[in-house]
Amino acid sequence: MTAATGAPDDARRCVALPDPFPMRCGVSLPGARVAYETWGRLNGARDNAVLLFTGLSPSAHACASPEDAAPGWWEDIVGPGRAIDTHRHFVICVNSLGSCFGSTGPASQKSGTGQRWGLDFPELAIEDIARAGRETLAALGLERLAAVIGPSLGAMSALAFVAQFPGIARRLVVVSGTAAASPVAIALRSVQREAILRDPEWLGGRYLPDQPPRTGMRLARKIGTITYRSALEWNARFGRARLAAGPAPARANAFAPEFEIEAYLEAQAERFVRAFDPNCYLYLSRAMDRFQLADHAGADGLSAIFSRADLERALVIGVETDGLFTIDEQARLAAALERAGVATTFARLHSPQGHDAFLVDTDAFDPVLRRFFS
């Protein structure tokens, strides 16, 4: 297991996972690796490391660095002087196992073959993503974490991490997460996957990288975009504004976009088609449905997991307008942590921006995270 160096213009590093890597479904994954980035430095006491898991679609590039100056997916929160201060913390962000930004997943070459994994990739669980994060730490020689943190799917991964590897993280931060997906969230993801699965271009998962199932991915992302934000935000931001475009005959057909909100969805969808692999999307999406933190508990419930985890403190943050990972789900997590005797802060934010608020509403998230990490 070695930490290899990426291209000079790339901040990404890779860790080879134990070969084969045992997955939760019982199958072992050969030749797998995890991509990660780091910021800041490990201190002499080796007690300032923060492990950051990501949502469904980001890479390990959480913020800019000398090696990669492009803004990261959590640029406003992670960095020098920011809420998760890389002057004080050594931050490690991992690209989820099963994703397509350097970590092994359905879009990766199956080792020893010229082919991509596709649907031959073993069933993926959130627990596997957490375990791959754990192995990344081991490769870096880290035995303790100041904190493990993640938003959305990343929050599930952080929860799976403390459930499987008690005693490593001193603190847990759950951002817009849940102990188990609600039926509405499962329903929405089921429809998103169906859009991809039924796209003729999906070809049973054997599409070429440059010929992905565009329609399915567009629909999946548009559904996602609608459910990631909130009505409150869109009423103010878009209302019923029309596009400046010409009259109907000039449009592709009578049903072409004519409201600004439709053009916004278009832009989001087109960006996503170019950025993310459809099979990886399917695997990560289903893993979110199946995750149940309670699988790691006995009849004594979630608080037994948190008692075992030996956490000093926890922070649970949620947003009242989030319909996908609701504030009630976060409230239940916070209550379970408190029952376990963990000093817990529960932050119920009034952001209008729904599930995506952690990405865009820095004013709401920054002070809460800053206080917890300082």
Catalytic residues: 152, 322, 355
The alpha carbon dihedral of 323, 95, 190, 160 has a sign of negative
Stretch that binds its own copies, among 29-37, 51-59, 132-140, 237-245 (CB under 8 A): 237-245
Distances (CA, A) of 354 to 47, 50, 264: 34, 26, 16
Give burial (CB, 10 Å; 0-12/13-18/19+) of 106: buried
Helix axes 278-290, 214-228, angle to 10 degrees: 40
What's the token pair of residue 149?
Answer: 């943190």
Closest to 314 in 3D by CA, of 339, 358, 346: 346
| 70 near its own copies (CB under 8 A) | no
Distances (CA, A) of 366 to 54, 94, 194, 348: 17, 21, 37, 13
Distance CA 231, CA 235 (A): 6
User: Min. distance of Cβ 234 from its own copies in angstroms?
Assistant: 4
User: Of 46, 87, 198, 206, which one interacts with its own copies (CB under 8 A)?
Assistant: 198
Stretch that binds its own copies, among 54-62, 162-170, 194-202, 304-312 (CB under 8 A): 194-202
User: Min. distance of Cβ 84 from its own copies in angstroms?
Assistant: 31
User: Of 184, 203, 267, 343, which one interacts with its own copies (CB under 8 A)?
Assistant: 184
CB nearer to its own copies: pick between 143 and 194: 194
Give 11's DSSP letter. -
The site map against its own copies for 123-162 (x = CB under 8 A) is x---------------------------------------
| 238 near its own copies (CB under 8 A) | yes
What's the token pair of residue 120?
Answer: 């031959």
| 292 near its own copies (CB under 8 A) | yes
CB nearer to its own copies: pick between 271 and 371: 271
Residues in the site for its own copies, rule: CB under 8 A?
119, 123, 180-184, 186-188, 190-191, 193-195, 197-198, 200, 215, 218-219, 222-223, 225-226, 231, 234-235, 237-240, 248, 253-255, 257, 259, 261-262, 265, 282, 286, 289, 292, 323, 326
